Structure 1
Amino acid sequence: FLEEDGNAYENADAKVERRRLRDMYDPFQMSDELFKKNFRLNKDAFKYVLDTFAEETQQSTLTSLSPLNRVVAALRFFAEGSYQHGVGTDYNVGMGQSTVSKSLSHFLEVMQRKLCREWIKFDQSEEEKMQAEQEFYAKASFPGVIICVDGTHIKIVKPSEEGFLYYNRKGFYSINAILVCDNRMRIKSIDARYPGCNHEG
C-alpha cells in the first residue's frame, strides 16, 4: 500500500509540474533559429496553423489544454519523428504520453478537415483516385492512400558559394528534394529547390 501511495503522489506531482510548465511556456520567446529547429516551421507559419486550429477547436475533454498547448505537442511530435512517449517527456510540451496521444488525434482531425483540403490537392479524377486507392490497398493492405510523398537528400559536391547551406544533419552536402509518386511508381512531381540544411517537409 505504501508503494502504491508513493506512486500516486509522484504521479500527482508530475501532473502539477506539467501544468505549471504549460502555463509558463511561450514558444515565441525562442530565437527564430531555435524555433524553426524545434517545430520545423517559422513563427508566421506556426501562427497560421495555430489560428486555424483555434478557430476550429470546440470544447473537448482536454479542458485544461489551450490551442497553443495542443499545437506545440503535435508539431514537436512531427518534428521529432518519434513516438509519443518522447514528446510526453519533452519540457517544451509539459504533457503526459496519454494526453499527447489524445491531443494529437484531435489536432490531426482538425487539420485534415481544414488545412489539408485547402492546401493539399492532386491532379486526379475521382476515377483515378478510386483506382489508386484500390491498387495501394492491394499492395500494402493500407486503406485510404491515393499517392505517396517523401523526401530525400541528393548527394552533391560542396558548392563553392554558401556551401554551409547544403550540409545536412546526416553529415554530407545535398539538395533536399520532395517527390510525389503514384500507385504505379510514376513520379508525378519533384520539388528540389532547397539546400540540405532544410529538414524534410
Structure 2
Amino acid sequence: MARRLVWLHIAREIYLRERRFLRLERRMIRDHSNPFEVREEDFTRYFRVSKEIAIYLCQQLHPELSRRRRSGLRTHTQVLVALRFLAEGSYQRGVGQDFLMAVSQPTVSRCVTKVTSSICDRLHQWINFPQTDNEMAAVQERFRANAGFPGIVGLIDCTHISIVTPAIHAEGYRNRKGYFSLNTQMVRNSD
C-alpha cells in the first residue's frame, strides 16, 4: 500500500512538471511573435490603424492593461487583438486563430472588453467639441481655409455596423435593409 502511494505521488509530480513545461513553452511561443515587425502597409491593412497609432494606444492604455500575472498577455497583444477584431468585424474565434495573434476566443472577448472599456474611459481626452466662441471661430476658419466652406464646425456621417441578432428586443435592431445593426454616428473636425 505504501509503495503504491509513493508511485502515485511520483506519477503526479511527473504529470505536474510536464504541464508546467507545456505551459511555459506555450508562453514562449506567444512572446516570440511581434506584429510590429510586419511592413507598415501590411500592418495598416491588417489592423486598420498605423503602427504609430497602435503604439500610442498601447502607451496610453498600459496602466489599465498591464499584466496582473506573469502568464498574462502583454499590453500590445491585448490592444492588437482588440484592434484586429474591430477591423475584421467578424467572429472572435477567427481573430484569435489568425497568424499574428494566436489566442483563444475567450481571450479575444476579454481583450476586446478591456481595451474598449479603457478607451471609453479616456474618450474625454481625445474627443471634444469646441466650447468657446474663439474655439468655434478657429474651427470655422480651418474649414473655410481647407475646403472653402464658411461657417462649418463639424462634418457628420452615419453608418450601420452589422451585429449578431440580439436575444432581447431583436426587432429594435433591424435596419431598413433587413439586417441587424447598430446605427453609429460620427462628427469630424477639419484636421
Query: What CA distance in whole angstroms lies between the structure 1 residues aligned with 2:75 and 2:30?
Result: 11
Which of the pair is proportionally richer in helix?
2
The residue identity in structure 2 corresponding to 1:41 is V
The residue identity in structure 2 corresponding to 1:103 is C
Q: Does 1:86 align with 2:88?
A: no
Query: CA 1:90/1:58 → structure 2, altered by over 3 Å: closer, same or farther?
Result: same
Which residue number in structure 1 is paired with residue 31 of structure 2? 23
Q: Does 1:102 align with 2:122?
A: no
Which residue number in structure 1 is paired with residue 73 of structure 2? 65
* Aligned residue among 53, 57, 69 for 1:45: 53
Query: CA 1:62/1:82 → structure 2, altered by over 3 Å: closer, same or farther?
Result: farther
Shift of 1:47: 0.8
Kept in 2: contact 1:89–1:96 (CA 8 A): yes
Shift of 1:121: 3.3
Which of the pair is proportionally richer in strand?
1
The residue identity in structure 2 corresponding to 1:69 is T
| Larger RCO (CA under 8 A, 6+ residues apart) | 1
Unaligned runs of 5+ in 1: 1-11, 125-146, 152-178, 182-188, 194-201
- The residue correspondences of 1:115-194 to structure 2 (distance < 5 A) are 116-121=123-128, 149-150=158-159, 180=185, 189=187
* Aligned residue among 41, 50, 54 for 1:33: 41
Shift of 1:111: 0.9
- The share of aligned pairs that are identical, in percent, is 31
The residue identity in structure 2 corresponding to 1:81 is G
How many residues end up aligned between the 2 structures? 126
Query: What CA distance in whole angstroms lies between the structure 2 residues aligned with 1:15 and 1:80?
Result: 29
Unaligned runs of 5+ in 2: 1-19, 132-155, 161-183
After superposition, the CA RMSD in angstroms is 3.8
Kept in 1: contact 2:81–2:95 (CA 8 A): yes
Q: Per-residue displacement from partner, 1:35-76 (whole Å, max 9, x unpaired)?
A: 101111111111110101113335547942110110111011
TM-score, with normalisation over the residues of structure 2? Answer: 0.53
The residue identity in structure 1 corresponding to 2:83 is L
The residue identity in structure 2 corresponding to 1:117 is H
Kept in 1: contact 2:66–2:75 (CA 8 A): no
The residue identity in structure 2 corresponding to 1:32 is E
Query: CA 1:47/1:70 → structure 2, altered by over 3 Å: closer, same or farther?
Result: same
